[in-house]
Homo-oligomer: A and B are copies of this chain.
């Protein structure tokens, strides 16, 4: 089966390949008559330009890369969906790379994608380790960091997320407004900046409300969210005045609810549980989980637009635009797990 290309089309109409190219990308005037004939031939043959050849010629592939720990992680699916939507609308495809929190794999993937002239990268870094991003950044390729980023990134690279400090602060204020007096906190991995911010928000809200910060009320994750099963039960046995637990992520909240349930403790009558994320399944838990919502789908949309804006700016001006930060609004979603 002979492949059909610019030249084929040209021959059908009796013009050169360049003329056909010209009508296709319309940057140059072409005689209206030949233009019509060319268009006709194109639609008759169902011709589609070869994007590989275009990419090679233009030095850019109209492909972007989404580099995340795992698509099975519930927060990344909507991010991916949003990213893919704007990519599609703006003419890009998205290549999905799961790193499994392995920096080495991340590095290998980066190199692979570079050798395909990938136009830009959206990252949620493996192990929150940004070495790979740092060296990639030196090559001048557009990058945006989503959800996972550090303090030092904020002025150097595009980031998208919520204000984790403020969001947690607001969550605490809500709990306090509902009469909670002794609020525990389930803390996530310290290496993740956003968790440190959330802990900071927890403390600040306590102090601003004239309550004291009690170190013994914060539970620390050791290996996985499952840790909170025992941590919660031990905490509750040790301190029976606890009337609320604020989990720094929804998966933790789920484990905590199970731990409470298995002890015969009622939610929210005895203890309120507040989550953070609002992943897809939060609403279908029993009871439905109240949580601080992050707009993940919107993260994806925003990251995609930010990235493609960078790409187009770079194509036009030869250099990257100044970095921007995109802090989206969080929202307290009140369901049934809090009083």
Which A positions have Cβ atoms within 8 angstroms of B? 1, 48-53, 55-56, 61, 63, 70-72, 74, 77-78, 80-81, 84-85, 88, 93-98, 105, 109, 111-117, 140, 254, 258, 261, 280-281, 284-286
Contact call A117/B52, Cβ cutoff below 8 A: yes
Chain B residues whose CB sits within 8 angstroms of the CB of A85 once the complex forms? 98
| Closest B residue, CB atoms, query A281 | B281
Report the Cα distance A71→B72, complex, angstroms: 9
List chain B residues, Cβ under 8 A from A254: 284
Q: Is the CB of A96 within 8 A of B115?
A: no
Query: Bound complex: CA of A115 vs CA of B48, how far in Å?
Result: 6
Asked if residues B48 and A52 are in contact (CB atoms below 8 Å), the reply is no
Q: How many copies does the complex hold?
A: 2
Contact of A114 among B48, B77, B96, B98 (CB under 8 A): B48
Interchain residue pairs with CB less than 8 A apart (5): A50-B116, A71-B71, A88-B105, A93-B95, A94-B95
Whether B286 contacts A261 by the Cβ 8 Å rule is yes
Closest chain B residue to A55, Cβ basis: B52
Measured CB to CB, the closest approach of chain B to A317, in angstroms, equals 16
Distance A63 CA – B112 CA, assembled complex (angstroms): 12
- Which chain B positions have C-beta within 8 A of A109? 88
A49 to B98, CA, bound (A): 23
In the assembly, what is the distance between CA of A55 and CA of B116, in Å? Answer: 10
The answer to whether A56 touches B52, judged by C-beta atoms less than 8 angstroms apart, is yes
> When the two chains form their complex, are residues B80 and A93 in contact, meaning their CB atoms are under 8 A apart?
no
| B96, A112: Cβ atoms closer than 8 Å | no
Chain B residue contacts of A1, Cβ below 8 A: 140
Q: Which residues on the B side are within 8 Å of A117 (C-beta)? A: 50, 52
B84 touches A78 (CB 8 A): no
A225 to chain B, nearest CB (A): 11
Q: Are B81 and A98 in contact (CB under 8 A)?
A: yes
Candidates B71, B78, B95, B140; contact of A95 at CB < 8 Å: B95
Cβ–Cβ < 8 Å partners of A74 in chain B: 280
